[in-house]
Amino acid sequence: MKRLVRLFLVVLLVAFGLMALAAKLNSSQGYSGSNTLTVYNWGDYIDPDLITRFEKETGITVIYQTFDSNEAMLTKIEQGGTTFDIAVPSDYAISKMKEEHLLLPVDHSKIPNLSHIDSRFLNLDFDPNNQYSIPYFWGTVGVVYNPELAGGITFNSWNDLWNPKLHNSVLLTDGAREIMGMSLNSLGYSLNDTDEQHLQEALRKLNRLSPNVKAIVGDEIKMLLANGEATAGVVFSGDAAEIMDENDSLNYMVPKEGSNLWFDNMVIPKTVKNPEGAHKFINFMLQPDVAAQNAEYVGYATPNKDALALLPEDISGDERFYPPAELTDRLEVYKNLGKRMLGHYNELFLEFKMHKE
């Protein structure tokens, strides 16, 4: 009997030990406690040295997780199985997250560095008064091209991509909104168009582009263009900056018909476990020196006017990536088209990809 009691006590002690170890591991992984912060962001979208600096200055351990699309991010947060304290969605996704009550309001009194943000990037339609989101980066969608391979094409229009000289020489980013939007813009329509006749017309025009399309790809588009394996590619402006840093013979342009003006903002999901730490992180990222360092590392345009003054002139003065207001006024922000219409955009884009194959 005594042996059974001892055995029971041993099992009990082991069980308590395992529970304590699990609690410690969970705390170190950012799932509990006020000393951790779980950040959900795009891949390679922050200078890692800044995470280290934030941890040293605050004593908060950052758990950094990444996603590759707004849709993947939304699905993960909607499921609610994982704790995220900060996420960095794009404009139309923020609108959707607000509708689905997935966000907490941001306490502006805890973010004094918000004063450094250029007023052009505040109080936008997808989040009036920035109640739920704080600007992180912004940019455009356009075309990176190699003048040496272009055969005399000057590239100032989306329609240049349909030039027969570009047979099997164009790369497209793998995004339904970007590529459907490109085709709609090339026809003179809004990239938020929901008219079915216009959408079908845009699909037919994309299908006519197929002979010129070498591939529809994700992040590898940067390496392929930098290595000269295509003449032109439809990319985000930050990717363009990175590509051109690798190959300075390339150039970037925003087509005259118009394009997407996008914004990525920091938000606090309802899954937050460390709201105080989340506000500290947002405020830290808005410090001018931090924002400038992050902009140099990532390559995208900072909305932080005081950070802009700290950047080298060859970055801050480059109108391809910091375009003047007269250009940005002609560009469009993606609107939240609703689940049904977004699904339809994805279906049309898939149909185009299947036609390409």
C-beta separation of 56 from 49 below 8 A: no
User: Are both 11-138+264-328 and 139-261+331-356 of the same fold?
Assistant: yes
Mean pLDDT, residues 217-224: 93
User: Has residue 19 got a pLDDT over 80?
Assistant: no
CA proximity to 249, closest of 149, 142, 356:
149
Could you tell me which residues come within 8 angstroms of residue 43 by beta carbon, excluding any fewer than 6 positions away? 66, 67, 68, 219
Distance CA 42, CA 349 (A): 22
User: Has residue 33 got a pLDDT over 60?
Assistant: no
Buried b (16+ CB within 10 A) or exposed e, 276-299: ebbbbbbbbbbbbebbbbbbeebb
User: Has residue 187 got a pLDDT over 50?
Assistant: yes
Which is the CATH superfamily of the domain at 11-138+264-328? Periplasmic binding protein-like II (3.40.190.10)
The reported pLDDT for the residue numbered 357 is 66
Amino acid making up residue 41:
N
Share of the chain above pLDDT 70, in %: 90
Share of the chain above pLDDT 90, in %: 80
Could you tell me which residues come within 8 angstroms of residue 277 by beta carbon, excluding any fewer than 6 positions away? 34, 36, 37, 58, 60, 85
Query: Which CATH fold would you assign to the domain 139-261+331-356?
Result: D-Maltodextrin-Binding Protein; domain 2 (3.40.190)
Distance CA 31, CA 35 (A): 10
Helix, strand and coil content of the chain, in percent to the nearest 5, comes to: 50, 20, 35
Mean pLDDT, residues 311-340: 90
Cα angle vertex 355, ends 357, 351, to 5°?
120
Domain definitions of the chain by residue range = 11-138+264-328, 139-261+331-356
Q: What is the DSSP string of 281-304?
A: HHHHHTSHHHHHHHHHHH-SBP-B
268-306 per-position pLDDT tens digit: 999 999 999 999 999 999 999 999 999 999 989 999 999
Distance CA 170, CA 144 (A): 10
Mean pLDDT taken over the chain: 90
Alpha helix locations (H) across 80-231?
A: 91-99, 176-186, 196-209, 220-226
Distance CA 343, CA 340 (A): 5
Mean pLDDT, residues 114-128: 95
